[in-house]
Amino acid sequence: VQHKGEVLSVALSSDRKLLVTGQGKSVFVWQVHNGAKIVELRQHEDLVRGVSVTDTGHRIASGSKDCTVVVWDTVNGSALFILKGHTSVVRAVHITGAAVLSCSSDKT
């Protein structure tokens, strides 16, 4: 897997078929077996600092320096939700089938 810039976050699906990375303002989804890029997801206005993928691989969460968390549908590449509760950089995210967790420099 080759990026054009610094990679700040990475997550692996539980079945080890998908690799999700955050680079620049984008989230990338890759096939592990051959390193092929499946999709580049763009919604953030600043650096992506954290990514997470559900066990099924159908949803991704990404957190950014733009203070938002985006929940993505990996099947069609769309942003399902843009969460705007943080007032500082989102440092890490975790997504399950039922919840999205995030932590930020705003101490939440």
- Give the C-alpha separation, 29 to 7, whole Å: 13
Mean pLDDT (whole number) for 98-108: 95
- Give the C-alpha separation, 42 to 72, whole Å: 10
| pLDDT confidence tier of residue 6, bands split at 50, 70 and 90 | confident
Which DSSP state fits 38? Answer: E
pLDDT of the residue at 81:
95
- Give the C-alpha separation, 16 to 5, whole Å: 24
The structure tokens 């993505």 sit at: 72
Q: Over the stretch 13-44, which tens digit does the pLDDT of each residue have?
A: 999 999 999 999 999 999 999 999 999 999 99
Mean pLDDT (whole number) for 52-74: 95
Average pLDDT of the chain is: 94
pLDDT of the residue at 5:
80
- The bridge status of strand 69-73 relative to strand 59-64 is antiparallel
